[in-house]
Amino acid sequence: MTNTGVCRLMLGGFILLKTCLSLCCSKVTENAKNSLATLKRENPCLEPTLAIIQARNDQLFQEANKNFAKEIGLRVIHICLPEGSTKDEIVSEILRLNEDPNVQGLALDLPESLYSSKVLNAVKPEKDVDGLSSVNLGHLVHGDVCDCLVPPTVCAVMELLGGVGGKKVLLLGARGAEAAALQSVLQREGAAVLSCHWKAPQLQSELRQADVVLFGSTKPSDVPVSWIKPGATVINCAHGLLSEKHNCGQQNNPAAEKTVGSLVVAMRMQNMVKNMERWIQSQHYRKWDLHCLKLQPLSPVPSDIEISRAQSPKAVDVLAKEIGLLTDEIEIYGQTKAKVRLSLLERLKDQPDGKYVLVAGITPTPLGEGKSTVTIGLVQALTAHLNINSFACLRQPSQGPTFGVKGGAAGGGYAQVIPMEEFNLHLTGDIHAITAANNLLAAAIDARILHENTQSDKSLYNRLVPVVNGMRGFSAIQLARLRRLGINKTDPETLTEKEIGKFVRLDIDPSTITWQRVVDTNDRFLRKITVGQANTEKGFVRQAQFDIAVASEIMAILALTTSLQDMKERLGKMVVANDHKGEPVTAEDLGVTGALAVLMKDAIKPTLMQTLEGTPVFVHAGPFANIAHGNSSVLADKIALKLVGEKGFVVTEAGFGADIGMEKFFNIKCRASGLVPSVVVLVATVRALKMHGGGPNVTAGAPLKKEYTEENLQLVADGCCNLQKQIQITQLFGVPVVVALNVFKTDSPAEVDLVCKIAKESGAFDAVPCNHWSAGGRGAVKLAQAVEKAANQKNSFKYLYSLELPIVEKIRIIAQKVYGAQDIELSPVAQSQVDRYTRQGFGNLPICMAKTHLSLSHQPERKGVPTGFILPITEVRASIGAGFIYPLVGTMSTMPGLPTRPCFYDIDLDPITEQVKGLF
């Protein structure tokens, strides 16, 4: 047969192929369109976007991509780079698109010379629609079809060939990733595959034997078509099939190649739809693939900071990926901490929550109980030793106590958060953001009083609503104030004089200002100050004070908020004073809500860290545990509960004893979050119980007396009354309780057994000795197992009181049922405050008792279980934005002071290594 005859035969085959190709294109397009429509019905907000980086002038290929995408329902963006762009320029563009959360797929249309390993592997595997990255090809070669995408050209070839079992396939001029993919798939389908180049000496012989010939590059003119076996199927799968002219000897036969190229484009779009299915699946919860860090505990146990530094933490982005966070859901701060974005809650909204565990304690003593250490030890045991997903959620420590009297707050021993110096110092700046927001509002209050005292209504109005570029207009927050005042006008020129006066004057009564400035330092001399003494303040002088930053209502709001919108609303509701008519004045009235939200926009995101064994921790919010509720944030808990999954555990800690932190957790935090606790872990120590049993006082720095270092079963038995009372308080809420007994080397086995026996007889589900301080998670495995069992018990959680009850009655219920008081007694000031809050519409808020944490009563020295006392309520204040009323029992200081020898004497910085010294 002549060359011309062979060409005619092949051309006839190509015409048949064209019809087949057209049908294939239609079928692939229709299938992809239907699949995407289903995805969009299930995910209405879905807007799948494919980015194509093009570095050659090929309008035909660009149009084909756009047309197929439009028909299927995909959005395509072309990044057209100049011809002659370098590999580095291509890679730079790829890396940018890798991090774009709005792009779910990435494809390349480049000259042949740019398809290098460096370029192909720059594409994130999860966005690799062309399937040519080494990760994707590795899965393909190993047969892991579920974990990869088959390259579009390979898909097109296989669609055209149908079955290839037993056939001889010749790959001509094919090389690189696409050739490897073709060879792998063909061999898996049973074909005998041979690859050679156009200049191979045995080319004619191979062409004569091949049933299928695949051109991977343009056929040279000196290779006659007569060499091809009659009846063989010939497919050209070179790059640029839509524009380059590949044929079997004729110079102008692009139709077949054009159709082949169209099928490749259709297959690319089908891959994009498959990628969307995988992307949506990745948005949902998946089992953690967590690499835990090994511990080698030493004896004696080194200092906390020595233990912290001896461990090498994982990079935080690695930890984030292990627990199912997506790249665009974290904001990295250095190597070991990151903010987590709230968008995660929307992504995992249909994911069932895990179990919710609260760690509380007996009434605190100077000997310490170790709630934070138990929290960390428990999650290390759950995840690193029992292979159960778990998250610890802790409060951020205040810088004041860190430099003052307490030292670190990251746990202790072999159960702590690392790096501990970062945990204790600044972290990601949340407390600084709260300080800035709080003090902006304080400045706004005094400035507003000054301006109202020194200006007429007209002058105030002209300054509050100035003319800008010849126009005068209200800001959004001013329009909201007008609506609250009943003035339904939007044009500043239409207000009457009376309306102007109503609008511009807040008429704040300085004697009622409750909003104070804050600083995160224990500075006793700021407990009472005088502001306004400069001549520029025109004689407006008043007494005020500073609180410590964590006592700010904004901190309480951060801990209780459930979203950015909720936080804005809470910030606006904060009552800072009353006007002369006795009506509340809010941050919204002062026009500062939006500015406060801006200052808090990053602080609202929980901070991700890790334990010594590499398990995840959220550190977020740290409200003062006396005048606020003393718990970490609702948002951290909510995100963690989604991440751990239905069988996982989130362990969080309440401040002080169960009578304060736990009661507020249930009655305030759980109301705000809507979350239901599964288990309470109640922490105790033998030596703390001995103090409650009548043991001698402890002096800081002095050696412990023998009562605490030698066996004394009677003291332990007597002190267990406090443990029994705290168990009873937990039972008021219907939640199972597990007692965790922190064991010290001075505790005798008989003392430990006695505490556990009394705890179980008093209603605890279980009582477990723990050694996590000295052994890490391994020392809390029995506790973890007890918690897991308790979480499967029937849970009849209930609140202690109804919000509809009067304020005084809610206070009385807490005093009598929780503290064991005979009754309460309100001072005349407190009673008038209750009456005012009730009249102002705040009577249905929960109660946040502000009292000493050192006793169930209001008297710190009364240990054990005091009874028969009358609880005095000296004042009643309100945190309306946070959403609670807080009665003051006795005198409460909101600004700690420095002791004679503060912790800062021991804290130093090595100028060579930049390591912090002496921090716990």
Catalytic pick from 625, 636, 658, 830?
625
Give the DSSP letter of residue 397: P
Q: Number of helices and strands (H, E) in the chain?
A: 33, 32
Neighbours of 111 (CB within 10 A): 14
C-alpha span between 682 and 654 (Å, rounded) = 10
Q: Which residue has the tokens 């004679």?
A: 900
List 656, 666, 765, 842, catalytic entry: 656
Annotated active-site residue 746? The verdict is: no
Quick check: is 773 catalytic? yes
In sequence order, which residues have a C-beta less than 8 Å from that of residue 176 and are 6 or more positions away?
A: 115
Alpha carbon 869 to its chain's center: 45
Set 127, 314, 337, 395: catalytic member: 395
- Find, among 801, 37, 776, 830, the residue nearest to 376 by Cα: 776
Residue 617: beta bridge partners?
392, 609
- How many other C-beta atoms are found inside a 10 Å radius of the C-beta of residue 662? 30
C-alpha to C-alpha distance for 418 and 397, rounded to whole angstroms? 14
CB of 411 closer than 8 Å to CB of 376: yes
Across 734-771, b (16+ Cβ under 10 Å) vs e yields ebbbbbbbbbbeebeeebbebbbebbeebebbbbbbbb
Residue 373 bears catalytic tag: yes
Residue among 773, 842, 869, 920 flagged as catalytic = 773
Residue 50 burial (C-beta neighbours within 10 Å; 0-12, 13-18, 19+): buried
Residue owning tokens 């929307």: 346
Among 258, 406, 505, 789, the active-site one is 406
CB 734 within 8 A of CB 795: yes
Tokens, residue 762: 């008093």
Active-site residue identified among 391, 423, 618, 744 = 744
Fill in the DSSP letter of residue 290.
-
Residue 18 C-beta-side C-alpha neighbours within 13 Å: 12
Query: What is d(CA 135, CA 149) in angstroms, rounded to the nearest whole number?
Result: 11
Classify 621 as helix, strand or coil: coil
Task: Return the DSSP state at 575.
Answer: E
656 is catalytic: yes
- Within 8 A by CB and 6+ apart from 140, the residues are 131, 148, 150, 181, 184, 185
Pairing of strands 168-172, 192-196: parallel
371 is catalytic: yes
70 is known as an active-site residue: no
Active-site residue identified among 371, 570, 573, 664: 371
What contacts 764, CB < 8 A, 6 or more positions away? 682, 727, 737, 738, 739
Distance in angstroms (rounded) separating the CA atoms of residues 446 and 454: 13
Chain centroid offset of residue 862 CA: 42
What's the one-letter identity of residue 370?
G
Question: Which secondary structure element, helix H or strand E, spans residue 822, and what is its range?
Answer: none
The DSSP letter of residue 525 is G
Q: What is the 3-state secondary structure (H, E, C) of 185-231?
A: HHHHCCCEEEEECCCCCCHHHHHHHCCEEEECCCCCCCCCHHHCCCC
The residues carrying an active-site annotation are 371, 373, 395, 406, 625, 656, 744, 773
